[in-house]
């Protein structure tokens, strides 16, 4: 593949060639243009000025944007309002059009337990596996992998790396990796390219690129460069415990997601949830936020309110900040990055109330803290997946909540922004205003501040 003199309003590539005996990884921060590059190569974006040549017959893409698109398609077909049960969407078997046994080439994905499950019941990691299986079944000769390891547990990630290594060795499919973090570079990545603000600014052999101190500096986080922290808002006074779940259970027919879960969170008891994809981490957090219908069938109390006792969901949510894959999927509304951040004061998806001057000031300060101040007026839907996640983090933190619920908050974030979010959590812990409950797969996110650890 050869790209030469590519120049659009958002992309600039002078001369880049991918040979058949090479495996490239393109590194770039959130909003650097990696997704635009994938769209260009796959034909989703029409080539303007420049030349692109290749002899591939089938190009496939795996990305978070693809997951969002499929989720929205499934929502359009949701018949729950006309049924006596929840419509969980197309099953994985239906999505993959597999009538019999799972093909041998997909065995490493461990799809057996989710083949009959509706797409909307899948965890983010399970959804990613299903989409990868879908891409593999098309038998592409060029596969673009946009953040392939994000949202996968450690075992799934290791198995996926082994599979990619097999593909490269067999020369069946040429792979192009688009990644945010240096630790996702593998030994079989022969070459690296670096994108920044839509421009391919460096390219070469892996060892040469990684030895460049200027490049490593560009991908490093420096807390001293952060703008000023917003002034304190009135403290939300609450009693203990903030959260109790007794013998928690979630089940869909004969499928048991989890059972016998007991959890108590007092103020300052920062709690970490871990477990494999599909173990129930997201489901448990959705019970807490009230975004799962079975929350009312459990012995669950949140901020002193028992779920199902006639409590006001708004009374509970106004003291909670939330960042989850489900919340990200549901943000399909119009509005700028500033509007979405402001909506955190009102706990709505979209902004429908007139914000105060103080709320606007705090929202702008949080957008600056997450590095999105230059995009504050940009439509949220036009941002990259990672940039959207940064806006949602600002939205969750803007009201300085008493309880912060985070489900894989750094999903889709580059190395700088991931360290930025971890710094925020440590700062919040030192302020002793917010109690954090977080689910994560990453070992480097098991911060000392977490006093409790629940493994599902």
Q: Give the mean model confidence (pLDDT) for residues 239-262.
A: 91
The per-residue DSSP string of 55-86 comes to --S-EEEE-HHHHHHHHHHHHHT--GGGSSS-
pLDDT for the residue 356:
96
Q: What is the band of 315 on the pLDDT scale with cuts at 50, 70, 90?
A: confident
Q: Output DSSP code: residue 91.
A: B
Average pLDDT, the chain: 90
Q: What is the band of 320 on the pLDDT scale with cuts at 50, 70, 90?
A: very high
Q: Give the mean model confidence (pLDDT) for residues 204-218.
A: 91
CB–CB of 439/408 below 8 Å? yes
pLDDT for the residue 23:
95
Q: What is the band of 72 on the pLDDT scale with cuts at 50, 70, 90?
A: confident
pLDDT for the residue 83:
58
Judge whether residue 313 has pLDDT over 80.
no
pLDDT for the residue 82:
60
pLDDT for the residue 84:
56
Query: Residue 150: which residues within 8 A CB-CB, separation 6 or more?
Result: 64, 128, 180, 411, 412
**Residue-wise pLDDT tens digits, 367-389:** 999 999 999 999 999 999 999 99
Q: What is the band of 326 on the pLDDT scale with cuts at 50, 70, 90?
A: confident
Judge whether residue 86 has pLDDT over 70.
no
pLDDT for the residue 227:
93
The pTM of the full predicted model, rounded to 2 decimals, is 0.89
pLDDT for the residue 81:
56
Judge whether residue 120 has pLDDT over 60.
yes
pLDDT for the residue 79:
65
pLDDT for the residue 366:
97
**Residue-wise pLDDT tens digits, 24-67:** 999 999 999 998 999 999 988 887 789 999 999 999 999 888 88
Strand order in the sheet with 452-455: 320-323, 403-407, 435-439, 271-274, 452-455
With pLDDT > 70 as the criterion, what percentage of the chain qualifies? Answer: 98
Nearest partner of 416 among 176, 219, 261, judged by Cα: 219
Judge whether residue 396 has pLDDT over 90.
yes
Q: What is the band of 191 on the pLDDT scale with cuts at 50, 70, 90?
A: very high
Q: What is the band of 14 on the pLDDT scale with cuts at 50, 70, 90?
A: very high
Distance CA 347, CA 321 (A): 9
Query: Residue 169: which residues within 8 A CB-CB, separation 6 or more?
Result: none
Q: What is the band of 174 on the pLDDT scale with cuts at 50, 70, 90?
A: very high
**81 or 350, greater pLDDT:** 350
pLDDT for the residue 201:
95
Judge whether residue 236 has pLDDT over 90.
no
**312 or 242, greater pLDDT:** 242
Q: Which domains does the chain have, with CATH numbers?
A: 2-223 (3.40.50.300), 243-455 (3.40.50.300)
pLDDT for the residue 447:
96
Nearest partner of 335 among 315, 355, 308, 317, judged by Cα: 355
Nearest partner of 322 among 282, 376, 370, 369, judged by Cα: 282
Nearest partner of 403 among 309, 330, 296, 305, judged by Cα: 305
Judge whether residue 340 has pLDDT over 60.
yes
pLDDT for the residue 361:
97
**378 or 306, greater pLDDT:** 378
How would you class 424 by CB atoms within 10 Å of its CB: exposed for 0-12, middle for 13-18, buried for 19 or more?
A: buried
Among left, alpha and beta (phi > 0; psi -120 to 50; other), residue 336 is beta
């Amino acid at each position: 593949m050869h790209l030469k003199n590519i120049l659009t309003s958002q992309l600039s590539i002078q001369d880049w060639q991918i040979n058949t005996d090479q495996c490239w990884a393109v590194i770039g921060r959130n909003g650097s243009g990696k997704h635009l590059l994938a769209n260009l190569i796959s034909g989703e974006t029409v080539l303007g000025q420049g030349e692109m040549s290749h002899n591939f017959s089938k190009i496939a893409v795996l990305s978070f944007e693809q997951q969002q698109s499929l989720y929205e398609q499934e929502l359009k077909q949701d018949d729950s309002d006309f049924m006596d049960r929840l419509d969980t969407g197309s099953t994985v078997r239906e999505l993959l059009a597999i009538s019999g046994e799972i093909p041998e080439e997909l065995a490493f994905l461990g799809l057996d337990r989710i083949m009959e499950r509706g797409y909307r019941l899948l965890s983010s990691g399970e959804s990613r596996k299903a989409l990868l299986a879908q891409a593999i079944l098309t038998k592409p000769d060029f596969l673009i992998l946009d953040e392939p390891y994000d949202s996968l547990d450690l075992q799934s990630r290791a198995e996926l790396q082994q599979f990619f290594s097999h593909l490269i060795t067999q020369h069946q499919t040429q792979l192009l990796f688009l990644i945010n973090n240096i630790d996702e570079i593998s030994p079989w990545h022969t070459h690296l390219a670096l994108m920044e603000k839509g421009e391919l600014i460096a390219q070469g052999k892996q060892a040469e690129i990684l030895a460049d101190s200027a490049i490593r500096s560009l991908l490093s986080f420096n807390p001293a460069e952060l703008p000023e922290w917003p002034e304190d808002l009135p403290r939300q006074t609450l009693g203990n415990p903030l959260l109790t779940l007794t013998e928690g259970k979630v089940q869909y027919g004969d499928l048991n997601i989890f059972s016998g879960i007991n959890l108590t969170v007092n103020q300052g008891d920062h709690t970490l949830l871990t477990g494999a994809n599909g173990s129930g981490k997201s489901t448990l957090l959705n019970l807490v936020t009230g975004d799962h219908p079975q929350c009312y069938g459990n012995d669950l109390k949140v901020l002193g309110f028992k779920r199902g006792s006639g409590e006001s969901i708004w009374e509970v949510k106004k003291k909670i900040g939330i960042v989850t894959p489900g919340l990200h999927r549901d943000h399909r509304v119009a509005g700028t990055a500033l509007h979405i951040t402001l909506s955190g004061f009102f706990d709505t998806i979209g902004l429908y109330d007139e914000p105060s001057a103080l709320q606007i000031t705090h929202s702008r300060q949080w957008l600056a803290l997450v590095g999105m101040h230059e995009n504050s007026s940009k439509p949220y839907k036009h941002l990259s997946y990672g940039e959207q996640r940064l806006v949602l983090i600002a939205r969750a933190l803007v009201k300085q909540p008493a309880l912060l619920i985070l489900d894989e908050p750094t999903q889709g974030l580059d190395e700088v922004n991931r360290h930025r979010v971890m710094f925020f959590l440590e700062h919040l812990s030192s302020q002793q205003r917010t109690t954090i409950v977080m689910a994560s797969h990453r070992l480097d996110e098991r911060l000392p501040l977490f006093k409790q650890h629940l493994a599902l």
